[in-house]
Amino acid sequence: MKKTPVVCEDVTPAFPSYPVAVRAGELLFVSGLRPAGPAGFADLPEAGREQMQGYPLADLTEGRVVADSWAVHDSLEKILVAAGTHRDQVLRQHIWQRDKRYFPSYEHVRVHWQPTPAPSSGLGVTDVIGRGRHWIGVDAIAACTQEGGVFGERQVLTDVYNPDLPAASHYCQAIRSGPFAFFAGHIPIKTAEPGKPLVNSYDDVPEEGRFLSTGRSHPDSRHGPIASQTWYVYNELSRTLAGHGMDMEDVVNVSIFLGDLRDFSTFHRVHNHFFPEVQPSLCVVGFDEVGHRGTRIEIEITAMDRRSGLARQSFPWQGAAPFAAPAVTQAGPVCYLSGMVGVDEAGAVVRSADALPEAGRRAVSPMEDIERRPGLAAQCWMAWEQLRASASGAGMELADIAMTRVYLSDPADLVVYEAVRETFIDEDLPAFECVIVHGPGPVAEALVQIDAIGVK
């Protein structure tokens, strides 16, 4: 399906090579938004100064966070209008925060801009890059509905104040647009119980959630927290789906945000327990701060109600599967690609240009002189090759990719990533976001990961 870049003269792209947003069919993909202009409370309109105390030092850092938050939401609003849609059609939003200690300041601004908020995931990152260093970054997906189309007016399934599972902050837990259900990032806190206790051991879940327990203190203290937290969140998501006539086999895409990549293997066992047959696409990233109060994992899912009659198809990896997921899950017109990391056909992480085919060696060898960490350029090339091959296997070209989100561990790595990307595609670019985190991939050896969505 042809994608169209959105022109919004009032918004400066955070990443100049890319459009501020791309429309593909009925979906609008908004590139990473960064502040430009306001630097503190004094630069904001009166509505943005509600948290201002009037003392320079008390307002210094909080003012910067509020100004950043106000600016990205102002930009988002302008892009939505330019694309012919509106804030009530935002299906999902990601909030990247350089310091989650200031999350309440951001949330206060969001309440103003989005009285009925979209599902969202708010993560602590190493840095927020794009035209400087910032406190807050945002990317988003919205619906641009049309008569007779697949998507429809957004319907809230589980709102901020749902009594069975209240949201932990100002976001809707789940919404629906046509046959698609978009969920916020869910964390293992029992928000419906007094004191909102944290799930942190096998003792905090019922017997059915303890299938990895050994009954021995040492292994259970290591694996118990992530196993019980993962089980609890998936179980809550399963309950919510069931309440709306769906189940886990309707899930088409899963994004996992881990606080510690050492938890990946245990998470993976629990993940397989919930998806024993029909597996969704999967992307796993290690973030600097996940949720709050000691949560180790945040899980974000997208589902498509199979009662809609829309076709669903899974496409395999061209080599060995790096984890339990297909390379691509097509759900109606949307193709969710699993996280693409720099691995070879055997699933092993590549470490230099020597591990690449001849075309890759020619492209990457000159870049190895400027890479910050050995193997970065080679992994970027293999991640793009995996993306190209996976898209082709699903009947797509790279031009059909509507959104790419790249995870790196240092802002300087973006130069190498972009040099590699240009060898694969240098025009008709998708919407784009770059997120700087301590763990770009599901294992410590992964230096880059590409999360992508295509539309046919």
pLDDT tens, residue by residue, 283-337: 999 999 999 999 999 999 999 999 999 999 999 999 999 999 999 999 999 999 9
Cut 0.95: pTM above it: yes
- Residue 299: the pLDDT is 98
Residue ranges, comma separated, of all CATH 3.30.1330.40 domains in the chain are 1-182, 185-309, 334-456
- Helix 103-113 with 56-82: angle, nearest 10 deg: 40
pLDDT digits (tens, 9 = 90+) for 327-374: 999 999 999 999 999 999 999 999 999 999 999 999 999 999 999 999
What fold is seen in the domain 334-456?
A: 60s Ribosomal Protein L30; Chain: A; (3.30.1330)
Q: Identify the band that residue 124 occupies on the pLDDT scale cut at 50, 70 and 90.
A: very high
Mean pLDDT of the chain: 96
What is the CATH code for 185-309? 3.30.1330.40
CATH architecture of 1-182: 2-Layer Sandwich (3.30)
